[in-house]
Amino acid sequence: MVTAKAEAVDATISPRVSALRPSKTMAITDQATALRQAGVPVIGLAAGEPDFDTPAVIAEAGMNAIRDGATRYTPNAGTMELRKAICKKLQEENGLSYTPDQVLVSNGAKQCITQAVLAVCSPGDEVLIPAPFWVSYPEMARLAGATPVILPTSISDNYLLRPKSLASVINENSRILILCSPSNPTGSVYPKELLEEIAAIVSKHPRLLVLSDEIYEHIIYQPAKHTSFASLPGMWERTLTVNGFSKAFAMTGWRLGYLAAPKHFVSACGKIQSQYTSGASSISQKAGLAALNLGYAGGEPVSTMVKAFQERRDFLVRSFRELPGVKISEPQGAFYLFIDFSSYYGSEVEGFGTIKDSESLCMFLLEKAQVALVPGDAFGDDKGVRISYAAAMSTLQTAMGKIKEAMALLRPPVAV
């Protein structure tokens, strides 16, 4: 008997998905983990995750939720008690007035941002993104069929967007401007005066919305102060504010974030979420409620973590300033340093090759210093390298010693 030849399975992937680039931060973190599992003592300073445990009162609230049977589906938008608490926090800490139906709780701030971009962007629209940027912003735009438009910033401006640069690129296709303050990857904080200049430009363009990513809001170092973009005159109506619990409360694994915006935007995002993941974990929402009850700006548990982050920042800034040819913009928030190593590009290293760019520099440091960092090209600025100081001081001291030993093998080939 003759059997028919089986047809090959069509393994085609959607062009929109094929165009997405994998996250380099996740890729390097996975690579460092694999090396450690193979016995190589790699120090990972790539992931943006606090090294602290979730504060005990928050963890206990999550455990109590399980014991008390709060383990069922919640409303798609989040529990009413949590949304009310978020509204209270936004009013008291940010000067923003929202009602619970203007808040959407999701499985992390990343989901909030993705849904917001999908909800308001159409093919042909443009998403304006200052660089250095968080690695996921351009990919979120592409997933929505929109075009990411990158606005370079300079270390001499502390990596803050110049209003003139923004004004020069806005056109009828401009749909969203994404601002992240405090910034990942630079730690820069936008002062209120600069945000007011940006708002004056935005106000002239009715189609242009602003997505304000404020996930690092509480990790800020005096004298810097956080300003919510939606609090500026005329900006509430066109701002989608995103925040969450992962960074300030050391709750990365709980996966809990939220969006606050005018109701029609929140409803659109909620429609996506209802068909995508449904509501966030009931257990995490109980824990989030406990986090918001810690007090203003997270109370003592958060201030203790921020103090430790600042001490680590100060140590690394001092240490890297001892290296010749390195340029630093001292971060005012978050827990990252974005360091300009470009004066070393072109260096030849025996047994390794040429340091051509940020990626080859990071590969060199992984090989020679056994320290995992993230190349700046992942963030849209190839001159720099991102270092996360969400690690114990002893770990940072060890890593710094190894980095200095490795960098001693190089000499800046160009004058700085």
Q: 415, 324 in Cβ contact below 8 A?
A: no
pLDDT value of residue 287: 98
pLDDT of 159 higher than 90: yes
Q: What value does the mean pLDDT take over residues 278-300?
A: 97
Contact in structure between 288 and 257 (CB atoms under 8 Å): no
- pLDDT, position 412: 57
Report the C-alpha gap between 107 and 105 in whole angstroms: 7
Q: Token pair for residue 224?
A: 């810097």
Q: What is the pLDDT of residues 244-266, one digit of tens each?
A: 999 999 999 999 999 999 999 99
Residues 237, 199: contact at Cβ < 8 Å? no
> What phi, psi does 280 have (nearest 5°)?
-70, 165
Token readout for 365 is 């440091």
Q: For residues 280 and 76, give the distance between their C-alpha atoms in angstroms, rounded to a whole number.
A: 8
In which element (H, E) is residue 239 found? strand 239-244
Q: What is the pLDDT of residue 19?
A: 85
Q: Please state, in angstroms and rounded to a whole number, the distance separating the CA atoms of residues 293 and 190.
A: 27
Q: Kind of pairing, strands 384-388 and 336-340?
A: antiparallel
Whether the pLDDT of residue 399 is over 90: the answer is: yes
Residues of the chain with CATH 3.90.1150.10: 15-53+300-409
Taking the C-alpha atoms of residue 126 and residue 172, their distance in angstroms, rounded to an integer, is 9
Dist CA 194 CA 163 (whole Å): 8
C-alpha pair distances (Å), 133 with each of 149, 233, 248, 324: 11, 26, 20, 26
Q: What pLDDT is attached to residue 411?
A: 67
User: Is the pLDDT confidence value at 108 over 80?
Assistant: yes
In this structure, the dihedral spanned by the alpha carbons of residues 88, 94, 98 and 102, taken in order and rounded to 10 degrees, is -100
pLDDT for 64 beyond 90: yes
Check residue 48 and give its pLDDT: 85
Give residue 334's pLDDT. Answer: 98
Question: pLDDT per residue over 89-98, tens digit each?
Answer: 999 999 999 9
CATH top-level class of 15-53+300-409: alpha beta
Higher pLDDT pick, 159 / 410:
159
Number of neighbouring beta carbons within 10 Å of residue 147: 16
Residue 20 DSSP label:
P
Give the pair of three-digit tokens for residue 227.
Answer: 């300003």
Q: Where in the chain is the domain with CATH 3.40.640.10?
A: 71-296
Is residue 76 over pLDDT 60?
Answer: yes
DSSP letter (8 states) at residue 100? G
Per-residue pLDDT, 126: 98
- Reported as a single tens digit per residue, the pLDDT across 121-136 is 999 999 999 999 999 9
| Topology of domain 71-296, CATH | Aspartate Aminotransferase; domain 2 (3.40.640)
Beta bridge partners of 239: 210
pLDDT interval class at 413 (50, 70, 90): low
- Provide the pLDDT for residue 137: 97
